[in-house]
Structure 1
Amino acid sequence: MRVARLAFAAPAGVALLVGMAAGLARMGVFEMDAEALQDAHAPAMLFGFVGSLVVLERAVAIRRTWAYAAPLLLSLGALSLITPIPAAVGRTAIVLGLALMLVIYRLIWQRQPAVATSVQALAATCGLLAAGLWSAGVPFASVSLVAAVFLVLTIVGERIELGRAGGLTARGENAGLALAIGVSASALATVIWPGTAHAVLGAVLLVLVVWLLVVDVARVTIASTGAARYMAVCLLSGYAWLAAASAVLLAGGEPDAAAYDLVTHAVLLGFVMSMIMAHASVILPAVLRTPLPYRPWFYVPVALLQLSLIVRAIGDVRGAGTVVQVGGIANVAAIVLFLLCAAASAVSASRTTRVKGEPHAQP
């Protein structure tokens, strides 16, 4: 079963590699004539990698064979964008994958109605609307914030779910749901009323960050040790980047090219990737039934990611393309290094488990 689940996760890993290569090509780190590859950068990262892993985790949770079609539609749909297959095929596959994700959330809701599920279903709806508009011909850049909200609210829903175990009240949950609705509405409004809606989105996101800081146990566990402190560092770093992106939107309205780069990567790398690094030791065992214990060396890629994003942000603010390239290369290095660290931890844990499971030699 582990091998079968790995087969479903593998295309997401390929989408990550494609997305990173396309991102470097877009920055001019190396020459790439294939326009389709460069255009696939954001969809590959958003839908093909993160979105596919999110829905794969949900498919594992509900234990329905048909649900595994959703992660494949997302990852393979994104990967098809760099092939001779018409782009409409890949975009349609992504739309279908997100629609199936909503069906999965409906089943989860029927089993256990909860505010966290509502927020995550709202997130998937944003992803579906973004993919639908893109499939209908709207430039991806125009719907990228809506697509990003898909991932942001998915994480918010997960924090609400975990917060219940930490004493989050019904009033606190409802406040989170209200903010999620506000973020979704203002993100969609950016497609129709750019500028003003961007500023509104920035303001609502800032309030959301404050709410997360108030309800999240990370502000307490940062004083602990081991895995708890590591996760808190990742979470608080992610919130800081989401706040930075929000401030840029609030202050500048519709972002120009440099601000757009700063905002999108602050959200998708600073916030989302920090959250992935924080929860990898929980997600991988749940999806692949492979142990991934925390190791102190996990801090190295996390620190590199934060520093590289700071360098990239400085380059965006100053309009220094070379600095942006340096930051972008370091972004990729941080992600690759984290994958290597995670693989090393998983292999080490598996070996330890096998050794402990071996019968002792008889005298």
Structure 2
Amino acid sequence: MNNTACPHGPASWAKPLLLGVVAISLVSGVLGGLARLGVAPSSIDGAVWLNHALLWHAGLMICGFLGTVIGIERAVAVKRPMAFLAPLLSGAAGLCFIAGYAMLASALLVAAASLFVAVNVVIVRRQRAAHTVLLLVAALAWLIGNLHFAFDATSPATLSWWFSFLVLTIAAERLEMTRLMRRHPAAQPSFFAAVALLLAGAAASAVSPVGGGVLFGTALTLLATWLVVFDIARRTVFAAGLPRYMAACLLGGYLWLAVAGVAWAAMVLGAPTRDIAWHALGLGFVISMVMGHAPVILPAVARVKLLFGRPFYVPLLALHLSLALRLGPGAFDTTLRAAGASMNALTLVWFAATVVGGIAAWRWLHRGPVVTPLKEKPR
């Protein structure tokens, strides 16, 4: 029997388990980030696991959380039970980070990324297109980043490759959507030129952190410019309903991607813009994309129905405003930076509650009438 069609196959137990692991990595990563700024809740302040989460904040957020989420989405798309091994391993790596076993976590991440590359090879074989090849390149970027982390956790190239994985995954999905539009002849060549520059910057960061970082930051800004000019979001923002909301998420994210590019180049040149570079990219760009795609991807992955409505705009606006506070005035005032970071965390909780509310609202609106079976009259 095909396990993908069997309700008791590997995927049936893997997805609930993975969603729990994803939640643990996300919550721990967020609390670890807050602890870095001295904003940990007093009830857990000083806990051993929180110290681990503080130390491995980036690994938890990028690999334990986002890497696992992307792995789940790809496993569902490929429809092969073995594909769930990749997110299972990256999810386990997140738990190892929290427990303080960073060396084991690094080994699990290398294994997870290797399997994830294999999953993307299957996808390319099924559909040989520019965007699927780019998804494979993104998977390879994650593997290279994990190898850097395994051999030298302090390597400046690790974050460049990890962020390349996220940026290229998102860019590939947007490249696929541009096929619905009439594209300028220079659109695709300029896109792949920016991608090549991004990969060159990540690779060069291992031997020349300054030169590679400048290339990497420049590529981020060029990709942001390309997305603003050519992405279908600049048209769908004038639509209504979910397409307009998604476009708002995307366009806002592209602006933060441009900010991250400038801040990244300034950071490697010695400017105090590290928080701006990392969190304009990780929160402003990546989480904006997550918010935009969640109402579409979550129902497909978790097999639930979700009612979209205007309340989804509230956490989106809160994300941008809190991030502007953190990276604007907060860049010069530690108190404002901590306040902005706390609001960032609350925004994620708010968005999760909005999603749960959307699921509950759909179920309430589509509840069936209670039917009482008729009793047969005694003869």
One-letter amino acid matched to 1:216:
D
Q: Would you say the 8 A contact 1:44–1:75 is kept in 2?
A: no
Residue of structure 2 equivalent to 1:348: 361
Residue of structure 2 equivalent to 1:69: 85
In structure 2, which of residues 6, 11, 34 is the aligned counterpart of residue 24 of structure 1? 34
In structure 1, which of residues 164, 167, 178 is the aligned counterpart of residue 179 of structure 2? 164
In structure 1, which of residues 144, 147, 151 is the aligned counterpart of residue 166 of structure 2? 151
Distance in 1 between residues matched to 2:373 and 2:178, nearest whole Å: 47
Task: Report whether the alignment pairs 1:213 with 2:231.
Answer: no
Shift of residue 119, structure 1, vs aligned partner: 1.3
State the Cα deviation string for residues 56-90 of structure 1 (Å, max 9, x = none).
Answer: 11101111111101111111112211215x32111
One-letter amino acid matched to 2:80:
R
In structure 2, which of residues 279, 290, 311 is the aligned counterpart of residue 276 of structure 1? 290
Q: Would you say the 8 A contact 2:110–2:146 is kept in 1?
A: yes
Distance in 2 between residues matched to 1:105 and 1:69, nearest whole Å: 13
Range with greater deviation from structure 2 (330-339 or 128-137) = 128-137
Q: Would you say the 8 A contact 1:176–1:208 is kept in 2?
A: yes
SS at match of 2:295: helix
In structure 2, which of residues 16, 21, 41 is the aligned counterpart of residue 11 of structure 1? 21
Residue of structure 2 equivalent to 1:290: 304
Residue of structure 2 equivalent to 1:328: 341
- Give me the TM-score of the superposition, normalised by structure 2: 0.88
Shift of residue 152, structure 1, vs aligned partner: 0.7
Residue of structure 2 equivalent to 1:227: 242
One-letter amino acid matched to 2:30:
M
Structure 1's 306 and 360: CA in aligned 2 closer, same or farther, altered over 3 A? farther
More helix by share: 1
Shift of residue 355, structure 1, vs aligned partner: 2.3
Distance in 1 between residues matched to 2:368 and 2:270, nearest whole Å: 55
SS at match of 1:191: coil
Structure 1's 56 and 114: CA in aligned 2 closer, same or farther, altered over 3 A? same
Residue of structure 1 equivalent to 2:377: none
One-letter amino acid matched to 1:265:
H
Q: How does 1:36-47 map to 2 (within 5 A)?
A: 36-47=52-63
Distance in 2 between residues matched to 1:169 and 1:96, nearest whole Å: 40
One-letter amino acid matched to 2:213:
H
Shift of residue 51, structure 1, vs aligned partner: 1.0
Distance in 2 between residues matched to 1:140 and 1:127, nearest whole Å: 14
Shift of residue 208, structure 1, vs aligned partner: 1.2
State the Cα deviation string for residues 125-175 of structure 1 (Å, max 9, x = none).
Answer: 111111111111231655212211110110000101122233447863443
Residue of structure 1 equivalent to 2:130: 115
> What value does the CA root-mean-square deviation take over the aligned residues?
2.2
Task: Report whether the alignment pairs 1:338 with 2:351.
Answer: yes
Length, aligned pairs only: 358
Distance in 2 between residues matched to 1:32 and 1:168, nearest whole Å: 54
One-letter amino acid matched to 1:64:
R
State the Cα deviation string for residues 272-319 of structure 1 (Å, max 9, x = none).
Answer: 00000001111101211112232100111001100111111124531x
Residue of structure 2 equivalent to 1:299: 313
Residue of structure 1 equivalent to 2:4: none
Q: Would you say the 8 A contact 2:263–2:274 is kept in 1?
A: no
Task: Report whether the alignment pairs 1:237 with 2:241.
Answer: no
Distance in 2 between residues matched to 1:81 and 1:140, nearest whole Å: 18
Structure with more relative contact order (C-alpha pairs < 8 Å, separation 6 or more) = 1
Residue of structure 2 equivalent to 1:102: 117
Q: Would you say the 8 A contact 1:259–1:316 is kept in 2?
A: no
Q: Would you say the 8 A contact 1:19–1:42 is kept in 2?
A: yes
Q: Would you say the 8 A contact 1:73–1:93 is kept in 2?
A: yes
Distance in 2 between residues matched to 1:89 and 1:344, nearest whole Å: 37
Q: Would you say the 8 A contact 1:200–1:250 is kept in 2?
A: yes
Range with greater deviation from structure 2 (111-120 or 218-227) = 218-227
One-letter amino acid matched to 1:264:
W
- Give me the TM-score of the superposition, normalised by structure 1: 0.92
Distance in 2 between residues matched to 1:330 and 1:255, nearest whole Å: 28
Q: Would you say the 8 A contact 1:36–1:82 is kept in 2?
A: yes
SS at match of 2:128: coil
Q: Would you say the 8 A contact 1:115–1:174 is kept in 2?
A: no
Q: How does 1:306-321 map to 2 (within 5 A)?
A: 306-318=320-332, 320-321=333-334
Fraction of identical pairs, as percent = 32
Structure 2 unaligned runs (5+)? Answer: 1-6, 375-379
Q: Would you say the 8 A contact 2:131–2:173 is kept in 1?
A: yes
